[in-house]
A and B are shown apart, each in its own frame.
Chain A
Amino acid sequence: MMDNENKDKRIPLLIADHLIYEYEGGADRVRALDDVSFKIEKGEFIGLIGHTGSGKSTLAEHLNALLTPKSGTIYFNGESIFEKKYDRKRYRGHVGLVFQYPEHQLFADTVFEDVCYGPLNNGVSRKQAELTAYETIKKVGLSDECFYQSPFDLSGGQKRRAAIAGVLAMKPELLVLDEPTAGLDPAGREELLHMISGLKDEKSMSIVLISHSMEDVARYADRIMVMDKGKKVFDAEPIEVFSHAKELEEMGLAVPAVTSVMLKLKEKGFDVNTGILNVKDAADEIMRVLGDKA
């Protein structure tokens, strides 16, 4: 992490190069990743969307070097991470992965201890680890009382925050979150997503947010990648991706409700701009079109 400054600015943070991964499911082989390539630039916020079984979680585990592809590789800062000599343990400190239901991995006596676990594994001194832990717990929005509580006494939403803090404390350059809002109530979802997008602005961290909800991703992502049956189908800005509403529906994915309304209006002959992602803009746009007619 020290040599961030003198790294070549033109090299993307991470390049996935023709990843192919297969696993044995029953009697035959299933291709979970089928020739997937993409780039992630520094500070980018990417939404990774796909139906259950589309290969998005498998991809996440590749990004964290937990699975090794059958062919293809990932370059991190220009170096292939599946090279024999590459230090993958260290690499996992640079790319944090928040699993689905991350609260199931909490184990220590106190929240504070649990958050210290990652940095300590990275070989950081005890003092430095505690400092980082303190900072991160604050950042994920847990109150002071939580610090020395057992993680198992927290509420569901707090547990999730504590677990995310455990990954953030390793100060990753790229953070991959696998369905971080699953099982949270709408308010909790909103807060968590807001917190995550705040991380990007503050620390220029690159973020990959995996979800099957377009609504969640549409608001925050700079770019959306859509996976279907192990293949990367779309990789573009949200507005561009949502213009393919029909194809997305065929994959079992829904475009955000607002976009869907605008597309339907257009179909009915109203001359509206369909590249709209939030309710307020949509209302303005509809008023504009109706105003023209009146």
Chain B
Amino acid sequence: MIRDITLGKYYNADSPVHRLDPRTKLIITFAYLISLFIYKSPAVYICAFIFLLSATLVSKVPFKYILKGLKPVWFILIFTSLMNLFFTGGEPVFSWWRINISREGIERTGLMLSRFMLMIFGSNLMTLTTTPTRLTSALESLMKPLKVIHFPVHEIAMMMSIALRFIPILVDETNKIMKAQLSRGADFESGNIFRKVKSLVPVLVPLFISAFRRAGDLAMAMEARCYHGGEGRTQMNPLRYARRDGAAFAVFIFYIITIVFWGSLIPRITG
């Protein structure tokens, strides 16, 4: 059954990383993800790893939670690394029967694996230390300039935060309905694909109905509190950059300088 969705699962703790302005975390995470794709040198990935490791240590999030983020993608990871390992041409290091493993293959697999893992762990760290509400208000604030071209920034941020808010509720609801139908003798596992899809109808219909019911209730509750869109709306806790955000940016810029140094200067000197 559907469980353990780490997406948007916030780990509650009190740490400097948690207290950072969500915009800072969003910008740094975004830039960090890009930085993973600029250089191919292993030294850069070691730097990226050290940066992530120290951020995780400061954030007080247990490693177990960060590793959980791999769960939904581990199959794809293994599959692509095997593909890369076996089907990259080049000078063979190891061959047996029809399998050839080349030096290039190993390098490429290592590169891809470290990129993916660092990407997943990095973005996971952000969602684990930032509540979905703060994240969407950060997005709203960062996208504000788009208002000039009449882009509905507030509405989109509101939709996102509502959607995020409802994910865990709908997951719970799905589990409940599945259990209820199981107790009426439903069978979601056996049979071919058509039977399986058909067996989901008794779950999907009640799920949709409850989603619509909740949406209706929510709309009514919002209207009852005079919600009328973003016009003139202020926030209870407006986002403000603090000194620690400056410090975070400073650390991040130091990281960027380090990888630029390792990534482009060192190969030039040695090469």
Contact = CB atoms under 8 A, between A and B. Distances in A.
A212 interface: no
Nearest to A26: B12
Interface stretch (A100-108, A195-203, A234-242): A100-108
Interface in B167-225: 176-177, 179-187, 201-203, 205-206, 209-210
Range of interface residues on A (Cβ < 8 Å): 20 to 34
Given A66-B179, A99-B176, A107-B202, A118 B185 contact: yes
Nearest to A106: B206
Contacts of B179: 61, 66, 99
Contact of A66 (B177, B182, B205, B210): B182
Interface string A206-237: 00000000000000000000000000000000
A99 B183 contact: yes
Given A104-B210, A107-B201, A92 B180 contact: no
Interface in A10-24: none
Range of interface residues on B (Cβ < 8 Å): 20 to 34
A64 B184 contact: no
Contact of B185 (A26, A102, A121): A121
Contacts of A26: 12
Q: From A97, A102, A107, A152, name the one whose CB has the most chain B CB atoms within 10 angstroms.
A: A107
Contacts of B205: 107
Interface in A80-104: 89, 92-93, 96-97, 99, 102, 104
Given A107-B201, A107-B206, A89 B185 contact: yes
Contact of B184 (A27, A61, A121, A152): A121
Contacts of A99: 176, 179-180, 183
Given A99-B176, A170-B185, A117 B210 contact: no
Interface string B243-257: 000000000000000
B206 A92 contact: no
A167 interface: yes
Nearest to B202: A107
A86 to B, nearest CB: 15
Interface of B: 12, 62, 176-177, 179-187, 201-203, 205-206, 209-210
Given A27-B62, A105-B206, 15 more contacts: A26-B12, A61-B179, A66-B179, A66-B183, A92-B182, A92-B185, A97-B180, A104-B209, A105-B202, A107-B201, A107-B205, A108-B202, A117-B184, A121-B185, A170-B185
22 contacts: A26-B12, A89-B185, A89-B187, A92-B183, A93-B185, A96-B183, A97-B180, A99-B179, A99-B183, A102-B180, A104-B180, A105-B180, A105-B181, A107-B202, A107-B205, A107-B206, A108-B202, A117-B184, A121-B186, A122-B185, A166-B184, A167-B184
